[in-house]
């Protein structure tokens, strides 16, 4: 080829995206591109469900937090990939079809992890490094100008994948405390890698001629999730409901400090919402992808609210697991309710948070009157998030009930049923009073800081 000198007047050409040389590559055809994007979408969509299936039953608080974040990222990535596929002249889009039975086999094993270690190994030691490798290859090989919208999308996904992987690697090394655990992690990784190689990698183009398929854990039936929420052993007395924090924060006879602490504790206790939403998302099938994006975002917000409570308590010098973090809500809803009714109850609660004088605005006003600036910020964003959640509930529930009035008319019955289902969990604790001790610890810490 003749080397041509172009006069670009010193200004970077080609919108700064690439140089002429790198733009010369043939790259992927639209068909190949769509084929790969469908594979990424399938893997991410299924990993999203793996997170939802395991969030409640996974005991470690920090893992629940990261799962909540990562499942929302997966939902967002799928939404972006789906949009890009729809732009590329390839109907039918087949975005909810299984692109390759061999990938399904792999993911059917990943979801059957027996504990947190296996689960993390599957996601962060097998699936994510492979996705990252596929994305990097895609970015290197596709034509940067012809396929720029895909390039942009994959760059953003890659950045978030690497962030997720960094967390996952650190969490796995924290969970491996002895040789037995190390051996289990290795053997599960080997098991899954067998399935991955058999599939020819996530892109499906690696040589798999010599791959031998290990014996499957999956038995051909659909995976059934374990809905019982678990907390790790740092948490004690998980059914203690003795602290009436919903009343304490409203009680003008208590100090603003104490009422604000009650609000922070209310935030901390919100971990039960991700525990109760994840099964709703997992069990609700065949909704438009937007449903999963909205619900995942709400789940992530609720985990953030719990972490804001965790941070608020950190500021008070109290570890978040030192006092009871009540589990009765997610336990009763997960065990005794179908997803639609559990969602209706969630929406009813969030509707109840909207009135100015008793709801989120009031919580924010109490926090702003206290000296705790952080609590005011926490309540400010919590309020904004809850307005969004009430809208999400309305958007997806009303059509499922066949109208707003019909949905509302079911609330009373469901709330009563929920109340009754919680009674049995009261007996799982001696209901010893602990709030006073907690507030004393907060006050002592304050005195030490003065």
Q: How near is the Cβ of 413 to Fe ion at its closest, in Å?
A: 22
Nearest residue to Fe ion, by Cβ distance, number only = 389
DSSP 367-407: HHHSS-HHHHHHHHHHHHHHHHHHHHHHHHHHHHHTSHHHH
DSSP state of 270: G
- Contact at 8 Å (CB) between 204 and 305? no
Q: Residue 225 to residues 114, 271, 299, 334, 348: CA-CA distances in angstroms?
A: 11, 19, 18, 11, 26
* Torsional sign, CA 195, 198, 202, 206: positive
Q: How near is the Cβ of 304 to Fe ion at its closest, in Å?
A: 8
Q: How near is the Cβ of 431 to Fe ion at its closest, in Å?
A: 25
Q: How near is the Cβ of 387 to Fe ion at its closest, in Å?
A: 9
Closer to Fe ion at the Cβ: 34 or 306? 306
Q: How near is the Cβ of 269 to Fe ion at its closest, in Å?
A: 10
Closer to Fe ion at the Cβ: 60 or 270? 270
Q: How near is the Cβ of 346 to Fe ion at its closest, in Å?
A: 7
- Contact at 8 Å (CB) between 20 and 6? yes
Closer to Fe ion at the Cβ: 302 or 326? 302
Cis peptide bond prior to 390, omega within 30° of 0: no
Closer to Fe ion at the Cβ: 70 or 269? 269
CA 375 to chain centre: 24
Closer to Fe ion at the Cβ: 168 or 229? 229
How far apart, in whole angstroms, are the C-alpha atoms of residue 88 and residue 82? 10
Closer to Fe ion at the Cβ: 70 or 305? 305
298-327: b (≥16 Cβ within 10 Å) or e? bbbbbbbbbbbbbbbbeebebebbebbbbb
How far apart, in whole angstroms, are the C-alpha atoms of residue 351 and residue 342? 14
Closer to Fe ion at the Cβ: 138 or 305? 305
Closer to Fe ion at the Cβ: 132 or 415? 415
Q: How near is the Cβ of 86 to Fe ion at its closest, in Å?
A: 30
Helices (H), 142-271: 148-175, 179-198, 245-248, 256-268
Q: How near is the Cβ of 349 to Fe ion at its closest, in Å?
A: 8
Residue ranges that bind Fe ion, judged by CB under 5 A = 270, 302, 305, 386, 389
**Number of separate helices (H) and strands (E) present in the chain:** 17, 0
């Amino acid at each position: 080829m003749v080397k041509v000198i172009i006069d670009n007047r010193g200004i970077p050409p080609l919108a700064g995206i690439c140089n002429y040389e790198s733009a010369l590559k043939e790259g992927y055809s639209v068909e190949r591109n769509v084929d790969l994007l469908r594979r990424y979408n399938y893997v991410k969509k299924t990993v999203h469900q793996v997170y939802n299936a395991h969030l409640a039953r996974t005991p470690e608080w920090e893992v629940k937090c990261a799962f909540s974040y990562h499942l929302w990222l997966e939902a967002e990535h799928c939404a972006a990939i789906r949009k890009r596929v729809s732009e590329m002249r390839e109907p039918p889009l087949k975005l909810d079809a299984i692109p390759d039975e061999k990938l399904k086999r792999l993911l059917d094993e990943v979801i059957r992890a027996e504990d947190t270690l296996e689960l993390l190994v599957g996601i962060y030691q097998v699936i994510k490094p492979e996705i990252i490798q596929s994305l990097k290859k895609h970015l290197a090989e596709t034509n940067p100008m012809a396929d720029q919208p895909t390039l942009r999308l994959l760059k953003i996904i890659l950045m978030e994948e690497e962030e997720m992987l960094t967390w996952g690697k650190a969490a796995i090394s924290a969970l491996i405390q002895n040789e037995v655990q190390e051996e289990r992690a290795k053997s599960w990784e080997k098991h899954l890698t067998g399935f991955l190689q058999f599939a020819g990698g996530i892109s499906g183009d690696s040589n798999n001629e010599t791959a031998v398929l290990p014996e499957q854990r999956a038995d051909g039936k659909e995976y059934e999730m374990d809905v019982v929420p678990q907390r790790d052993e740092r948490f004690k007395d998980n059914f203690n409901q003795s602290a009436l924090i919903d009343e304490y924060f409203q009680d003008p006879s208590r100090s603003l400090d104490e009422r604000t602490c009650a609000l922070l504790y209310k935030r901390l206790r919100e971990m039960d919402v991700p525990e109760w939403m994840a099964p709703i998302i997992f069990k609700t099938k065949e909704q438009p992808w937007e449903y999963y994006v909205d619900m995942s975002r709400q789940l992530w917000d609720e985990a953030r609210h719990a972490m804001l409570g965790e941070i608020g308590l950190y500021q008070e010098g109290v570890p978040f697991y030192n006092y009871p973090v009540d589990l009765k809500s997610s336990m009763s809803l997960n065990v005794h309710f179908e997803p639609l009714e559990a969602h209706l109850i969630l929406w009813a609660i969030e509707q109840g948070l909207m009135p100015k004088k008793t709801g989120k605005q009031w919580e924010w006003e109490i926090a702003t009157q206290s000296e705790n600036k952080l609590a005011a910020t926490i309540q400010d964003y919590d309020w904004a998030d809850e307005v969004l959640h009430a809208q999400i509930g309305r958007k997806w529930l009303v059509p499922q009930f066949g109208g707003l009035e019909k949905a509302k008319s079911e609330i009373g019955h469901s709330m009563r049923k929920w109340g009754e289902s919680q009674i049995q969990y009261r007996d799982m604790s001696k209901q010893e009073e602990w709030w006073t001790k907690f507030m004393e610890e907060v006050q002592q810490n304050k005195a030490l800081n003065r």
